[in-house]
Amino acid sequence: MLKTILSISGRPGLFKLVSRGKNMLIVESLLDKKKVPAYARDKVISLGDIAIYTDDKEVPLHEVLTNIQKKENGEKASIDPASKPDELRDYFAEVLPNFDRDRVYPSDIKKILSWYNILLSAGITDFTPKEKEGEKTEEPSTEETKPEESEK
């Protein structure tokens, strides 16, 4: 679901991808439901492509949002995104204990919390990515290599 939810630099809120045009995307604001174009010059990023730095790896945004949802029992975030940096870090440590404190800034945490609240307000509560049918074809390709190994 997060693959079709977009953040556009310079525009507040989040947008849902509606259609593609020549050199532009047609997006719908999750805040006011207005449809607007996003041009090639706009910096557009899918929430499905975002990951959060931890001490040992990068965690996909959908996992962080799911952790926030579990912590809040499906309700909006209990902390105000405009809280003090130390409060934001303490809250985020409860959600993602091993987040990299040097590379994840309070502004990032604010953005994630506001995105979470926007997604809930828009009725989007399932953050896990859907498996594509094409991804399941990896199993047969490993089975094909087994006979070759047995022939040797």
From residue 78, alpha-carbon distances to 13, 89, 113, 121, 131 in Å are 19, 14, 10, 14, 31
Domain 2-47, classified CATH 2.30.30.730, yes or no: yes
- Largest alpha-carbon pair distance within the chain? 65
State pLDDT tens for residues 36-50. Answer: 999 989 999 999 999
As a whole-number percent, the residues of the chain with pLDDT over 70 amount to: 86
Residue 20 has, within 13 A of its CA and on its CB side, a CA count of 3
Q: What is the CATH number of domain 50-121?
A: 1.10.10.1650
DSSP state of 76: P
Measured CA to CA, the distance from residue 79 to residue 134 in angstroms comes to: 40
Work out the pLDDT band at 21, boundaries 50, 70, 90: confident
For the chain, give every residue range classified as CATH 1.10.10.1650.
50-121
Phi and psi torsions of 53, nearest 5°: -70, 135
What pairs with residue 15 in β-bridges? 6, 29
For the chain, give every residue range classified as CATH 2.30.30.730.
2-47
pLDDT at position 8 is: 94
